[in-house]
């Protein structure tokens, strides 16, 4: 293990490290080289080769995913709702340009149609070219991939047309900011079928506490206080390593009580998933007391 | 959220950031000032005031604890065994110079005697002076605090004299290296009463994978394969945020099946614990599949 020496700052040459920081802490990931860099109309999209974490996608230098640990995030965003909802046929995905969420969805043969709405074609193009293990299902026949504004899309979507909606957004700056608003989630609610489920990337309780708490409050206002369930995932290459996802339903299944353990266990084994298993599914909803208190849920 | 600019390296002035790194990634914690710095015979001990994470203890610039999240570690190291073992009276603690482990132990009135063996008096002195919320029980009447070598201490300890042994070590470099050896754990096993429990700081699966895997193997050789249980804790201010502890017993209670939920729930509420609760206790033992595979435990 290296320790910082008086001249340690020299090791953070920006040609060698990608730094994701706030004003209290920073996560730095060491890079070999930049494989892709393009300024889209929305943001700067880059792909790097790292030391030990495989290839990495960043947006405005915030870590979106690394090959080493992207399965944690994508497994938990997708398989948690898939094993509580008994019969998902129509799925809407907002964001998800890297394709990892789609790769996990198409493992489930019962799904009939997936509509994905990603605002930035550069993310999709970069991922297809440089992250083939993550983007592998972006040409799947069940997928309808639209390059469009997800906020506008859900505003115009038909009522009660999806069983599962996944909000796989980047952080609430730039084009993703509107994905953290009440108006957006009211539209999401409306276009969900009764019994339908939503999972949402809901930020880090420690790195982005304000966004984390406000989004939870917003979701409770839209879905009802008993229908919103925060869960936690270890994502070592995100700052603090502690990330939250949130499960909401429209009078639908409870995320733990309605877990189909047998189906989950069989699938996990057949598909050789890296992170998800039925025990981890249940465990993720058990929050440390200080997180419960942040959300006004402590008992 | 700040993003890295071409001149980002300048933000890592070592007077402003403490950097805990390996050759793949780094965690940087922003500091206001250094409150204490002393080179002991073993290591460099420092206390910093941080931005937003309270005061922080480092050893050779590796983060030992911050006031913001030390409860996660200390709660899980102490209360997990305390609610599976029905009657802990004699406790041995190796390391733990900051005092957080002792503070959690003395919440349990049934404990009669705590022997703590810390090799470096500088850690104890710095913590007493600058980390009063963590070191608050280091003068407790039940505590016998010895400044001594823990390895030598357990070698000379009487057979079957402790109900609970806690190995609260720093990382396996410098004086803590011997705390990761089979000879040491054979002595620990010997001085445990039958039915006794050990909890161990067992490193990060991602940041220190070699130490994590080797220590698990070592513990299984000493305690038996079915008596060693890895569990995970979110510690945002440790690199990767994913830290492991390990629960072992000498033909003692199972860490989940023998959890006394009612006793844990009542205590958690009365003591207003920050991290630990009975649900989190059980959840911590549910490992992501890739961690199970690292430990040869995947099903």
- pLDDT at residue A203 in the model: 95
- pLDDT cut 70: percent of chain B above it: 96
- pLDDT at residue B6 in the model: 35
Pairing of strands B25-39, B17-21: antiparallel
Q: Residues with Cβ < 8 Å from B163, sequence gap 6 or more?
A: B85, B87, B88, B89, B90, B91, B192, B193, B195, B196, B197
pLDDT in tens, B264-276: 999 999 999 999 9
- pLDDT at residue B183 in the model: 95
What is the value of pTM for the model shown? 0.94
ipTM of the complex: 0.94
Burial of A292 (0-12, 13-18, 19+ CB in 10 A): middle
- pLDDT at residue A175 in the model: 76
Burial of A156 (0-12, 13-18, 19+ CB in 10 A): exposed
List of chain A residues whose C-beta atoms are within 8 Å of the C-beta of residue B50 = 24
A268: closest chain B residue by CA: B289
- pLDDT at residue A11 in the model: 57
How close is the nearest chain A Cα to the Cα of B230, in Å? 14
List of chain A residues whose C-beta atoms are within 8 Å of the C-beta of residue B295 = none
- pLDDT at residue A179 in the model: 83
- The reply to whether residue B3 touches residue A62, judged by beta carbons under 8 angstroms, is yes
Q: In 3D, which of A57, A74, A68 has the Cα closest to residue A129?
A: A57
- pLDDT at residue B299 in the model: 58
Beta-carbon pairs below 8 A across chains A and B: 199
- pLDDT at residue A10 in the model: 45
How close is the nearest chain A Cα to the Cα of B154, in Å? 27
Length of chain B: 299
- pLDDT at residue B178 in the model: 82
Distance in angstroms between the alpha carbons of the first and the last residue of chain A: 41
List of chain A residues whose C-beta atoms are within 8 Å of the C-beta of residue B231 = none
Residue for token pair 């730095």: A28
Q: In 3D, which of B221, B186, B198 has the Cα closest to residue B80?
A: B198
Between CA B66 and CA A24 the distance in angstroms is: 12
Rounded to 10 deg, the angle between the A70-82 and A261-271 helix axes is: 140
The residue-averaged pLDDT of B232-258 equals 97
- pLDDT at residue A299 in the model: 58
pLDDT above 70: residue B5: no
pLDDT in tens, B117-143: 999 999 999 999 999 999 999 999 999
The CA-atom distances, in angstroms, between B79 and each of A286, B216, B237, B263 are: 16, 21, 21, 11
B212 φ/ψ angles, rounded to the nearest 5 degrees: -60, -50
How close is the nearest chain A Cα to the Cα of B275, in Å? 5
- The reply to whether residue A21 touches residue B6, judged by beta carbons under 8 angstroms, is no
pLDDT in tens, B13-28: 778 999 999 999 999 9
List per-residue pLDDT tens for chain A, 299 residues long: 333 443 344 457 778 999 999 999 999 999 999 999 999 999 999 999 999 999 999 999 999 999 999 999 999 999 999 999 999 999 999 999 999 999 999 999 999 999 999 999 999 999 999 999 999 999 999 999 999 999 999 999 999 999 999 999 887 877 778 888 999 999 999 999 999 999 999 999 999 999 999 999 999 999 999 999 999 999 999 999 999 999 999 999 999 999 999 999 999 999 999 999 999 999 999 999 999 999 999 75
Least confident of B23-27, B57-61, B172-176: B172-176
């Amino acid at each position: 293990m290296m320790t910082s020496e008086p001249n340690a700052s020299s090791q953070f040459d920006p040609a060698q490290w990608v730094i994701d920081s706030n004003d209290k802490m920073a996560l730095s990931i060491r890079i070999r080289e930049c494989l892709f860099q393009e300024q889209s109309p929305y943001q700067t999209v880059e792909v790097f080769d790292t030391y030990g974490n495989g290839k990495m996608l960043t947006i405005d230098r915030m870590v979106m995913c690394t090959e080493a640990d992207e399965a944690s995030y994508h497994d938990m965003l997708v398989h948690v709702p898939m094993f509580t909802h008994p019969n998902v046929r129509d799925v809407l995905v907002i964001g998800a340009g890297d394709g990892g969420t789609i790769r996990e969805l198409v493992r489930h043969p019962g799904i009939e149609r997936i509509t994905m709405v990603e605002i930035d074609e550069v993310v999709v193009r970069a991922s297809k070219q440089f992250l083939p293990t993550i983007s592998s299902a972006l040409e799947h026949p069940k997928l309808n991939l639209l390059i469009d504004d997800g906020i506008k899309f859900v505003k115009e979507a038909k009522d009660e047309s999806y069983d599962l909606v996944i909000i796989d957004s980047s952080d609430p700056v730039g084009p993703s900011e509107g994905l953290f608003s009440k108006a957006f989630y009211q539209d999401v609610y409306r276009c969900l079928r009764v019994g339908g489920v939503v999972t949402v990337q809901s930020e880090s309780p420690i790195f982005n506490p304000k966004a984390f708490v406000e989004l939870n409050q917003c979701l409770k206002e839209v879905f009802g206080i008993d229908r919103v369930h925060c869960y936690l995932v270890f994502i070592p290459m995100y700052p603090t390593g502690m990330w939250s996802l949130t499960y909401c339903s429209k009078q639908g299944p409870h995320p733990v009580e309605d877990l189909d353990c047998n189906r989950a266990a069989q699938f996990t084994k057949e598909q050789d998933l890296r992170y998800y298993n039925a025990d981890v599914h249940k465990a993720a909803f058990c929050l440390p007391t200080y997180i419960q208190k942040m959300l006004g849920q402590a008992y």
